[in-house]
Amino acid sequence: MRKVLLDVFYSVQTRGFWVAVFLSAAAFMEAVLAEGEGDLLYLYTMSMSFGIFTVAASCIAVLPTVRELSSYKGSIMKYNLLRSGTSRYIVGKAISISIIGGLALMLGPAISLIVLSFKNPLVSEAFLDIYALEPELNASFSNLVRAQQYQLFLAIKLLMVFMYGFSINMIAFAVSTCAKESFVIALAPFLILQSATNLLNSAGTAYVKPATYLHGYLLRVPFDNTLGFFGVILLTHVVIFGICLTASIYIIGRRLKYA
C-alpha cells in the first residue's frame, strides 16, 4: 500500500497528470457552455449525458499513464518484477495507475463545479422538473432528489467518474501487456468497453454504452433507490478489475518465464 501511495503522490506532480486534469475540465466546461444557464445539478447531469466530455473521457483518463504503460517491457520493470514478485508488483502497479487515471478524470469536473458554484445555485425548479417529467429515466437517483440530498447526489456522480477512469486505466494496463504502442493503449479501452456494452444491448438486458458509467442512467433497468443502482455499477467495475488483473498477471508471468 505504501508503494501505491508513493506512486500516486509522485504521479500527481507530473506535467502529464495536470494536462489531463486541464483537458478533463475543458471538455466538461465545453459541455456546460453548450447547455447554457442552469443550476449545478442540472448542468452536471446534462453535461455528463451529452457533449465532448463523454466522448473524450476514455483517452483523457489514460493520458497521465500511457507513457509508463507503453514502456512496461523495459529493464526497470523487469527488475522490479523479479525483486517483488510478479503478482505483488502487478497488483500494486495496476492499482496505482488506475487511481491516477481516475483522479485525473474526476478532478476536471470537480474543479469546474467549484468554479460554477460561485455563479450558479445548487438546485432549482428547472432541475427538479426533469425528475417529475421523466421519472423512468432518473429512477436510480430520484430518492436522493426527493430527500433533498443534493450534495450526496453530486458526490456519487463524481465517484462514478473516478471509477470510470479507474476501470479505463485497468483495461489499458491489461492491453499494455500485449501491445506497447501508445495509441493502441489509449484507444483500446474505449473500443473494448464499447464492444462489451454493444453485446449487452444486443442481448436486450439493458441499454448501456460507455457513457452510461459516467452519467449513470440504465434506461431499461429501473431502480427505485440509488444503493441498488450504484451496486450494479460498482459490481461492473469490480468485474472489470478482476478480469484485467488476472489477465495481466498471467500474461506477464508467461513473458518472464520464457524471457
Of 134, 196, 190, 200, which is closest to residue 164 (Cα–Cα)?
A: 190
Residue 68 pLDDT: 72
State the pLDDT confidence band at 74, using cuts at 50, 70 and 90.
very low
Residue 130 pLDDT: 65
Which of the two residues, 232 and 259, has the higher pLDDT score? Answer: 232
Digit-coded pLDDT (tens) for 135-180: 554 556 666 766 677 788 788 888 888 988 898 889 888 888 887 7
Burial class (CB within 10 angstroms; exposed 0-12, middle 13-18, buried 19+) of 100: buried
Residue 110 pLDDT: 92
Of 246, 259, 244, which is closest to residue 77 (Cα–Cα)?
A: 259
Residue 78 pLDDT: 59
What mean pLDDT is reported for the chain?
76
119: helix, strand or coil: coil
Give the number of domains in the chain.
Answer: 1
Residue 22 pLDDT: 92
Average the pLDDT over each of 101-105, 138-142, 157-161, 222-226 and give the range with the smallest value.
Answer: 222-226
Average the pLDDT over each of 40-49, 63-72, 205-214, 236-245 and give the range with the smallest value.
Answer: 205-214
Of 99, 239, 94, which is closest to residue 162 (Cα–Cα)?
A: 99
Residue 75 pLDDT: 45
Spell out the residues 6+ positions from residue 139 whose beta carbon is closer than 8 angstroms to its own: 222, 223, 224, 229
Cell (9 digits) for 74: 523495459
State the pLDDT confidence band at 221, using cuts at 50, 70 and 90.
very low
Q: Quote the percentage of the chain above a pLDDT of 90.
A: 5
- The mean per-residue pLDDT over the stretch 235-255 comes to 83
Residue 204 pLDDT: 57
State which of 122-136, 174-188, 189-203 shows the largest mean pLDDT: 174-188
167: helix, strand or coil: helix
- The mean per-residue pLDDT over the stretch 108-113 comes to 90
- The mean per-residue pLDDT over the stretch 39-63 comes to 78
Count the neighbouring beta carbons within 10 Å of the beta carbon of residue 195.
Answer: 9
What separation in angstroms does the CA of 205 have from each of 130, 134, 220?
25, 21, 7
What separation in angstroms does the CA of 21 have from each of 33, 105, 109, 215, 243?
18, 6, 9, 19, 28
Domain carrying residue 229 = 2-257
Give the whole-angstrom CA distance, residue 101 versus residue 14: 13
Digit-coded pLDDT (tens) for 21-43: 999 899 888 888 877 777 888 78
Count the neighbouring beta carbons within 10 Å of the beta carbon of residue 227.
Answer: 10
- The mean per-residue pLDDT over the stretch 174-197 comes to 81
Digit-coded pLDDT (tens) for 112-142: 889 888 888 888 776 676 665 555 545 566 6
- The mean per-residue pLDDT over the stretch 193-206 comes to 68
Judge whether residue 217 has pLDDT over 80.
no
Count the neighbouring beta carbons within 10 Å of the beta carbon of residue 251.
Answer: 15
Give the whole-angstrom CA distance, residue 93 versus residue 173: 9
Amino acid at 142: S
Interior/surface letters 154-185, b for 16+ CB within 10 angstroms, e for the rest: bebbbebbbbbbbbbbbbbbbbbbeeeeeebb
Give the whole-angstrom CA distance, residue 238 versus residue 228: 15
